[in-house]
Amino acid sequence: MTRIRVATTWLDGCSGCHMSFLDIDENIIQLFDRIELVYSPLVDFKTIPENIDLALVEGAVSSEADKEEILTLRSRSKILISFGDCAVTANVPGMRNQFSVMETLSRAYVENSASGQILPSGSVPKLLEYSRPVHEYVAVDLFLPGCPPPAGVILSTLSDLIDGRPPSLGGKTRFGA
Amino acid sequence: MRYPAFLQRIADRADVQPVRILTFSINGQAVSAREDETILSVARENGISIPTLCHLDGLSERGACRLCIVEIKGSPKLSPSCVTLPRQDMEVITNSDRVLDYRRKILELLFTERNHICSVCVSNGHCDLQALTTELGMTHVHYDYLHTRHAVDASHERFSVDHNRCVLCQRCIRVCEEIEGAHTWDVMGRGYLSKVITDLNQPWGESTSCTGCGKCVQVCPTGALSEKGKSVAEMTKRRQFLPYLKLMRGDESR
């Protein structure tokens, strides 16, 4: 049986959704009989491969690097899932949207900085004007809200997709928790 | 219409002013109602659920949120069931695809207008707006967020108001006026720039009319009004006082 090629990534998020994924505990052994993790922060591949069957995207699109990552991932994936509140709504990263990029940067690097007090240039990806949900940049096939989505919902959604069933969230996860 | 008390007693007498009973249908189910009952109230009496946000048992109706819209046969527009009275032989549909679609859109637009970040909200898990996303099957927002910037007023000794989380349901305004009798709260501005204010847009802590009763905090459907000292997900609201107060005062019919 050919295994389904799965990719995961985190953009502007806290990695909590990936931690919740790992919380499926021993189920991961059976799951990995069916899937192959071809790209993920949890494994050691540096570039996005071609022919991805299923992509899980955690985090909002906040920087030029996020944007490039999501565009490439989308172009190489059959099914793309917005994974967690940051991907779905921009959530906590989006709280900076009330302020200009310059206000945000100076708050972090000048006002609250004990030393240095230099704005970053070149060393980190350039922030976009707004931190936005994934679906404002690319087509998204499935939305999995939650902060983070519960492990059980992640497992049942992946199992449904692998078995070719339409996944049903049916109120098992919600925004904020 | 309210009359002075001595006239109201006559107006309330069924033998002098008989309330007409009429029959109509909701989702094909035949129902009967007093002519002064709303479609929402009749639906709920008959176990037909209609989602609401600005409605709260014990307060007057405002028709502010439009989530309770229903289809009425023969009418091209959708009507808010909380402020629409039935008519004889009216045919009401509460769950057509069109109604469900518009309700979800209305809910999504509420999310675009302000900054509802459930994960860091005091009312996370106890919020009417958040619960509606599950009830109406809203998985994401199709529209662009407005990224508006709203103030937080923490000048009151015990309570604070975060306008980023306000949905302008006006429950606070109604409970303050109708139950507490203080009318500290009101609304100013227009459209999505409207905001609830205390007195003449003074800081809440400087309001001379506020009695500090906290009823507004308890009826607020979101985390917009909260008690100080509550952290994420800790703000549970206690609304049981409202029907109780109405009953004890004998003005349940209002």
User: 0.90 cut: is pTM over it?
Assistant: yes
Mean pLDDT of all residues in chain B?
94
ipTM associated with this complex:
0.93
Q: Which chain A residues are within 8 Å of B121, Cβ to Cβ?
A: 176
The answer to whether position A155 is within a domain reads yes
| Inter-chain residue contact B117 with A94, CB threshold 8 Å | yes
For domain B117-249, say whether CATH 3.30.70.20 is its number. Answer: yes
The answer to whether position A119 is within a domain reads no
Nearest residue in chain A measured CA to CA from B116: A91
Q: What pLDDT score does B219 carry?
A: 97
What's the average model confidence in pLDDT over B16-42? Answer: 92
Domain map (residue ranges) of chain B: 19-95, 117-249
- Per-residue pLDDT tens over the stretch B215-234: 999 999 999 999 999 999 99
Q: What pLDDT score does A1 carry?
A: 67
> Which residues, other chains included, contact B18 with Cβ-Cβ below 8 Å and sequence gap of 6+?
none
Model confidence at B254: pLDDT above 60 = no
Report the C-alpha gap between B114 and B194 in whole angstroms: 11
Taking chain A (177 residues) in runs of 10, the rounded mean pLDDT of each run is 92 97 96 96 93 98 98 98 98 96 93 84 92 98 96 95 89 86
The contacts found for B36-45 with CB under 8 angstroms, 24 or more apart, are: B36/B85, B37/B85, B37/B86, B38/B81, B38/B82, B38/B83, B38/B84, B38/B85, B39/B70, B39/B79, B39/B81, B39/B82, B39/B84, B39/B85, B39/B86, B39/B92, B40/B68, B40/B81, B40/B82, B42/B86, B43/B81, B43/B92, B43/B94
Look at the domain B19-95 and name its fold: Ubiquitin-like (UB roll) (3.10.20)
Q: Which chain A residues are within 8 Å of B147, Cβ to Cβ?
A: 97-98, 130
Torsion of CA A90, A93, A98, A101, to 10 degrees: -120
Q: Name every residue in A having a CB less than 8 A away from some CB of B.
A: 82, 85, 88-92, 94-95, 97-99, 130, 132-133, 135-136, 140, 143, 145, 147, 169, 171, 174-177
The answer to whether position A147 is within a domain reads yes
- Per-residue pLDDT tens over the stretch A69-106: 999 999 999 999 999 999 999 999 999 999 999 999 99
Q: Which chain B residues are within 8 Å of A92, Cβ to Cβ?
A: 117, 119-120
The answer to whether position A57 is within a domain reads yes
Give the domain extent around A72: 4-95+130-162
The answer to whether position A125 is within a domain reads no
The answer to whether position A35 is within a domain reads yes
The answer to whether position A113 is within a domain reads no
The answer to whether position A111 is within a domain reads no
Q: How many structural domains does chain A have?
A: 1
Q: What is the CATH number of the domain that holds A76?
A: 3.40.50.700
Read off the DSSP letter of residue B202: B
Which residues numbered 234-253 in B keep a CB inside 8 Å of some CB on A?
A: none
